[in-house]
Amino acid sequence: METALVNARVLLPQGLREGLSVTIADGQIRSVSSEPPAGAAIVDGGGAMLLPGFIDTQVNGGGGVLFNDAPTVETIATIAQAHRRFGTTGLLPTLISDDLAVVAAAIRAVDEAIEAGVPGILGIHIEGPFLSVARRGIHDAGRLRRIDQDAIALLGSARHGRTLVTLAPECVEPGDVSALVAAGVIVAAGHSEADYDTVRHAIGEGLSGFTHLFNAMSPLANRAPGMTGAALEDDRTTAGLIVDGHHVHPAVIRIALKAKGHERLMLVTDAMALTGVDDDHFLLQGRKIMRDGDRLVDAKGTLAGSTLTMTAAVSNMIAQTGIDLRRAVAMASATPAVFLGIADRTGAIAPGLSADLILVDDDWQVKRSWIAGREAA
């Protein structure tokens, strides 16, 4: 049966439009037209905004659980449910640096979650353990290591969805990035001290992303562009941004926007277990991480991910940069869809794409959501 969403301000790729009916059937957007089809079930949007669902490529946890603690289908479902309340209809459960046995378990869990039909699971993000000790941030130094052929084979072993791997280019050998890309892995750089030339070489091998731009990477200097300079310069790559008011200064975000444009910047949350719950702390691989307002820090004050949500990230982006709604939402939907290679399936409101939709009021409260045409309970 067809369902027609009416009386909403619909965000098309061209901008907000009123007076439209978005018809969904069989999990897809069937049509966008001025009138609902005869016989369709009507859903009244109440004048709210109908947006493409948000896609978050960096989600460590939520709903009180952390992916590393228990890489299971149940954990993944809890995380996805917690973030769906804030507009996320597609995500990559993210495993921070851990032993390869845990990496293997996480890959199996995501495969099983997709096979079981857990809504919104697009694949997995494996952030480390092939990272720089000097730029590890909150990652456990004892779990960091260099990549090898066994690890490359493991990283390319997922049966379903997309696999995104964050690594430090100086921790791999020439040819390793291209081997990962050949295995179907999307490779991003992060937590790295790599110099400009090393990063450029990795881009030449197929590296296409940068994880939480500016954070935990070699900075831009006048005679040493570093990873940050390489990321800002290259228009083939996409960079994630944590726009929570703590990780990156608004002026720096505005500079990045001018350098790369909204088509090559995507919003991410880097969310931890406390997103969506009121607890004041959690344990990360045995270390106590505390909530300080809306910041998460360890005992030394090191940032440990965030409590950010995608609705907050989009609204923050608008407030901090002056970017318009169309481009800010694209940074949370169309841009990550292109980065993941799934823009032919999702990321916008257009006929033929998956009916991944959210109904949001002007205060950025999600009123209703659909993933592949199925509404949340």
Nearest of 229, 238, 244, 232 to residue 210 by alpha carbon: 238
Retrieve residue 292's tokens: 């300080």
The string of DSSP codes covering 24-88 is EETTEEEEEESSPPTTPEEEE-TT-EEEEPEEEEEE-EETTEETTT--SHHHHHHHHHHHHTTTE
Which residue do the tokens 């790599």 mark?
A: 194
Nearest of 2, 106, 18, 14 to residue 60 by alpha carbon: 106
CB 357 within 8 A of CB 22: yes
Catalytic residue positions, numbered: 270
Asked if residue 129 has a cis previous peptide bond (ω within 30° of 0), the answer is yes
CB 128 within 8 A of CB 166: yes
Residue 141: CB atoms within 10 A of its CB come to 11
β-strands 21-25, 185-189: how paired? unpaired
In angstroms, rounded to a whole number, what is the distance separating the alpha carbons of residues 236 and 275? Answer: 32
Amino acid identity, position 321: T
In angstroms, rounded to a whole number, what is the distance separating the alpha carbons of residues 88 and 288? Answer: 27
Q: What sign results for the dihedral spanned by CA atoms 247, 251, 254, 258?
A: negative
